[in-house]
Structure 1
């Protein structure tokens, strides 16, 4: 599976408009694209940040879809977005099989690593980190995105509600500390978001 992320910052007062448009016009545009396998919208309403993630069955499907989405994206995010950053990743771990989520919380960790260690990062997360996350109360899914060539990645851990997200902070911090040491990665950012919508389907 492959993903495209769009990270936008802007006026918190205008964020609601962007959410409504993405969940209607934006979602319809994505559904029309071949190879589309789901999407998520995550926000920090107080700060004015928005992260959207679209899931694709192949690199070709993802890249072809962006020819359309690149043209439509400014209008979809207007008047909210002041900055927009688009990135592409391989999804080496993804939460297929979990029910669609709304109203929960996600903790996002941005990572940097030596490109030669990409497999180590994936193996450590899948074999050592993920099993410890799955037993956290309220756990609702996790994903690992990697850009092997640039040595960058991100993990997203989803929780069923905001209470579970907050309550998990200490326990996930311990898991994160051990995981980054084993995988030789550096954590460069840690953020928390409200889940507006998140759904990934296998077919």
Structure 2
């Protein structure tokens, strides 16, 4: 599958306005588009950051949907959005463990890699990293997103609650260090978010 992400920053006091719009009008617009498979909304209320994801059957479905969403996106996110960036990825690895929960936690690791290494990174992640993350209590889903052209990627680890997210930090740090060394990836960012909504139809 393929994913479009939006990364938005703004006034923390206004973030709930954007969340409500995305979870109502925004979701209705997405549901109307062919190839739609689900969405997620994640927030950092303290700093004023919002991460949105929409999942698609194909790159064409994602691209066609963006022609519609582009005209509505700014209005949906006002008055919160001060900055807005759009990212596109292939969902190279998706491992569901249990259903995510509202109020749970998402840890995002951003990284860069040499584009010819994309398949090797996905194979290593699937065989070596996923089993280690599955052993962490409270894991709901783990994903590997890749932009093969730009050589950028994201690992997302969803946990059922805040306590599980916090308790997993050391275990995931160890796995992150190992894969960064063996797969020659360069970690460029590490963030944590609260889960507002996350539902993906994987089958």
Whether TM-score is above 0.5 comes out as: yes
2:164 corresponds in structure 1 to 164
Shift of 1:202: 2.5
2:50 corresponds in structure 1 to 50
Shift of 1:100: 4.7
2:59 corresponds in structure 1 to 59
Cα distance per residue 1:116-157 (max 9 Å; x no partner): 111111111111001100010111111110001111000000
Shift of 1:101: 2.8
2:40 corresponds in structure 1 to 40
1:184 corresponds in structure 2 to 184
Shift of 1:95: 4.2
Provide the C-alpha distance between the structure 1 equivalents of 2:51 and 2:67, rounded to a whole number of angstroms: 20
Residue 152 in structure 1 maps to residue 152 in structure 2: yes
Provide the C-alpha distance between the structure 2 equivalents of 1:101 and 1:64, rounded to a whole number of angstroms: 30
| DSSP 3-state at the match of 1:20 | helix
Counterparts in 2 of 1:1-203, with a 5 A limit?
Answer: 1-95=1-95, 98-203=98-203
Shift of 1:96: 5.0
Give the number of aligned pairs.
203
Provide the C-alpha distance between the structure 1 equivalents of 2:95 and 2:76, rounded to a whole number of angstroms: 26
Say whether the 8 Å CA contact 1:9–1:50 is kept in structure 2. yes
Q: C-alpha root-mean-square deviation of aligned residues, in Å?
A: 1.1
Q: Which runs of 5+ in 2 are unaligned?
A: none
Provide the C-alpha distance between the structure 2 equivalents of 1:97 and 1:169, rounded to a whole number of angstroms: 18
Q: Point out the more displaced range, 57-66 or 98-107.
A: 98-107
Say whether the 8 Å CA contact 1:88–1:147 is kept in structure 2. yes
Q: Point out the more displaced range, 147-156 or 89-98.
A: 89-98
Name the TM-score, length of structure 1 as normaliser. 0.97
**1:113–1:146: structure 2 CA closer, same or farther, 3 Å change rule?**
same
Provide the C-alpha distance between the structure 1 equivalents of 2:73 and 2:18, rounded to a whole number of angstroms: 11
